[in-house]
Amino acid sequence: MIPLHDARRQRCAFLLNEGEPLSLTWVNGRGERWETGGRLDLASGFGGRPVPGGEWRTADAEWSAGEPLFADLSGDGTLYRAALGPCDGGVALNVEYRPRAIPLKQRLADAALNLLYRLGRLTPGKADRFLFAGDARQRADGNAAFVLKAAEALGLTEGKKVTTAYRVGKQAAFYAKVAFLMGRSDTLVTDDYFPLLYHLRLAESVRVFQLWHACGAFKTVGYSRAGKRGAPRVDGPTHRCYTHVVVSAESVRPCYAEAFGIPLDRVKAVGVPRTDVFFDDKYAARKRAEFASAFPRAAGKTVILFAPTFRGDGRESAHYPTGAIDFGALADFCRQNGVYVVFKMHPFVKDFALPEGCEDVFADAAATREINDLLFAADRLVTDYSSVIYEAALLGLPTVFYVFDREEYVAARDFYRPFESYAALGVTAESFPELLDALAADPPDRGAIDAWREENLGACDGGASERVARLLFTEGE
């Protein structure tokens, strides 16, 4: 019997004797068996589904880890609570589960979409069919564009039918059209949260590629947020259909498996395609020239890119608390130190405005669609919890983390690793005076940034687009 001397909760899981090999067999009152190691993933550990309700016991271990552990992953109408602790003859996991009642309107809509999908399955084409689709953007750009360009250059699309379908017009009409197109496709490709995918009962032979738009593993997403506001319900279908997820490094694979509720072997550390531009000297020179033309007052000055993420639950409530910025003090700092600050708010933030009289040292880059293009001309980055830190690391750009509301953000969203591990990219400021001090100080040693980049972006080397294109178009041939 294994003594469980260490047990703690981590996001949607209980960890037992972390780092030690464990093999545990759990049995419930109906005689059902469940094999695990030392990680009890409540959201997805039962064959990609939440652990079923009831009491599960193991006689393979004895509890010596202190007080029992509790987790409440309830949300969006689903009740899900779990307790782990000692019992006679071993350890018990008690799960209280009451599923959400699906409204009739949603059931009817799902039935209609699945009917369209099945009709599409009845009209297959002769060639292998690939569908790039999503409703977070209006055309194939970002990772999808890079993969398609690489595939065409390599001749991988010859003899194959490639279709794109991105959100234009009303959602209902768009979903109806794409559900049918998905039925006709062998491979589906998206790069963001895409609700339609999660409402369809896809054929087992269909491959679903998630080219997730963000690098690394910073803010928690998906089932890693179970029990927090805005997370998918723990027993829902969101994300679980992915057969292939591409990520930036080997070290972040477990984070994405947890977030999407899928087995680890479906997560591939082959790189993030859109990062290939950071290894293209001609592209970098062109973007620096475009920046100089768009922001002539930055010439000869140290350029700081101020690019925080938004606060709120999504597009409708997105905002940034501009009261955390002392624009007057920042303008004085810029004039005294030869600094020019370019503000690039998250696209969801619509009410940001710079004060008048600061045009000599401030600029708003809202009209610049791609934030990465601004990084090429920046000397330092100021952000908070934005994944732009990964792209900045690829350029060796020092980062200042302005995290005046860190405790609140951790409670509401949290990170995959302790925040201090990300702060190796630069320095942390928790008040505006600290921010000014950080901007005045010398940047950190480049070696620390390079080491962090190797760990978190090891598969981003300028060849990600080609690797993903080959995986997508030639796997299995």
pLDDT digits over 237-288, tens only? 999 999 999 999 999 999 999 999 999 999 999 999 999 999 999 999 999 9
Residue pLDDT, tens place only, 349-359: 888 889 999 99
Burial class (CB in 10 A: 0-12, 13-18, 19+), 147: buried
pLDDT score recorded for residue 82: 97
Sign of CA dihedral 442, 446, 451, 456: positive
The pLDDT of residue 249 is 97
The pLDDT > 90 percentage for the chain reads 79
Tens of pLDDT, residues 168-221: 888 999 999 999 999 999 999 999 999 999 999 999 999 999 999 989 999 999
pLDDT of residue 314: 72
Higher-pLDDT residue of 19, 252: 252
Which range has the worst mean pLDDT, 83-97, 288-302, 363-377? 363-377
- Tracing tokens 């000869």 back to the chain, one arrives at 300
**Per-residue pLDDT reduced to its tens digit, 109-158:** 999 999 999 999 998 777 799 999 998 888 888 899 999 999 999 999 99
Q: What value does the mean pLDDT of the chain take? A: 93
CA 87 to chain CA mean position, Å: 38
Taken in order of first residue, the domains within the chain and their CATH numbers are 2-98 (no CATH), 104-215+463-474 (3.40.50), 281-456 (3.40.50.12580)
Task: Work out the pLDDT band at 476, boundaries 50, 70, 90.
Answer: low
Instruction: Inform me whether the pLDDT recorded for 396 exceeds 60.
Output: yes
The model's confidence at residue 413, banded by pLDDT at 50, 70 and 90, is confident
Q: What is the pLDDT of residue 137?
A: 83
- Residue 74's pLDDT is 95
The arithmetic mean of pLDDT across residues 312-336, rounded, is: 89
Region 400-418: what's the mean pLDDT? 90
The string of pLDDT tens digits covering residues 61-114 is 999 999 999 999 999 899 999 999 999 989 999 999 999 999 999 999 999 999
- pTM of the full structure: 0.92
Backbone φ/ψ region at 411: left (φ over 0), alpha (ψ -120 to 50), beta: alpha
- State yes or no: pLDDT of 477 exceeds 80: no
